[in-house]
Amino acid sequence: MRILLTNDDGISAPGLAGLYQAVADLGEVTVVAPATPQSATGRAITLDAPVVCERVAAGAFEGVAVAGSPADAVKIAIHHLMDDPPDLVLAGINAGANVGINVFYSGTVAAAAEGAMFDVASVAFSLAGGGPMDFVRAAGLCRWVLDSLLARGLGPGELINVNIPTMTPSGPKGVKVVPQGTSAISETYYRQDAPDGRIIFRLADYYEHGPQDGQTDVSALEDGFITVTPLHSDLTDRAGAARLRQTPWGVPPR
C-alpha cells in the first residue's frame, strides 16, 4: 500500500512522527508536510508565491518539507513528488481536537479533504488537549482505528475524521460514529488600543463549543469516546435547493 502522510503542524511535529511509526509497516510511506506550523489554515492554497520544497530528515523518516499550506503539500505530493498516486492519505496526528465547526478551519482535515478530492481514501487524525500529549500512545489508537477502517474497506475519495479524546490512564471508552457538530463557538479576542490609534486583536487560546443538537463529535469526544465522522466536500443544502427551485426566477435581464 502506498501512503501519503502529512499534517498541518509541520514536518517536525511529534504527532507526525508518532503516526509515521504507527503506520510504517503498512507499506511505502511518503512524508510530505508543511515546513512550518499551518494550523487553522483550512483549505488555503498558495496562489501568488513560489512554493519551495526541501528534502529533510526528521528523525525516523525522510520527507519533503513544503513551504506552503497542508493542501499545497498534498497537491504537490500527488502531482509531482510521488511516482504513483497514493492508495491512502493520512493527516496528523494533530495536536488538538478537530471537531464541531473547527473542522472548517482545520488544516489537518483540509489535507485529508484534499486527498479525497484526488479520489484517494483519506483519514484525518487529531488528539484532544487537556491531558498528556502522548503521541506514541495516541498513534497506537489511531492505528487501531485505521485497521478497522481498512478491514471494512475504504472507498476512493472516502474522507474520515478521527479524534482521540483527552488522554486518561484508563483510555478511551469506545468508538462512536457521530455527525459533525455545527454549533457556534464562544471565543474571546484580547483587545489592545495602541497610542497611534491602531487597534490590535489577538484570539485567546481558549474557547467553548455551544450546546450540541443531539450527539455530535463534540459531545462524544467530551464524553471520552474516539469519534469517527465521515465527511464529504459537497456543502449543498439539498432542502434549501429544493425550496429555491420553487422561486419564480423569470427570465434574466439583458
6 scored as a contact of Mn ion (CB under 5 A): no
**Single-letter residue type at 46:** T
- Number of residues located near Mn ion, criterion CB under 5 A: 4
Torsion, CA 104, CA 105, CA 107, CA 111, rounded to 10: 20
Which residue of 8, 72, 114, 222 would you call a contact of Mn ion, by CB under 5 A? 8
Distance from chain centroid for Cα 24: 20
Q: In terms of CB distance, is 94 or 163 closer to Mn ion?
A: 94
Q: In terms of CB distance, is 70 or 172 closer to Mn ion?
A: 70
Q: What's the CA gap between 20 and 176, in Å, rounded?
A: 25
Nearest approach in angstroms of CB 61 to Mn ion is 19
Q: 223 burial class (0-12, 13-18, 19+ CB within 10 angstroms)?
A: middle
Which residue of 4, 5, 6, 9 would you call a contact of Mn ion, by CB under 5 A? 9
Which residue of 6, 41, 69, 94 would you call a contact of Mn ion, by CB under 5 A? 94
Cell numbers at residue 23, please?
503506520
Nearest approach in angstroms of CB 116 to Mn ion is 19
How many residues are there in the chain? 254
Nearest approach in angstroms of CB 163 to Mn ion is 13
For residues 24-63, which are near Mn ion according to CB under 5 A?
39
Query: Which residue shows C-alpha cell 484525518?
Result: 124
Residues that bind Mn ion (CB under 5 A): 8-9, 39, 94
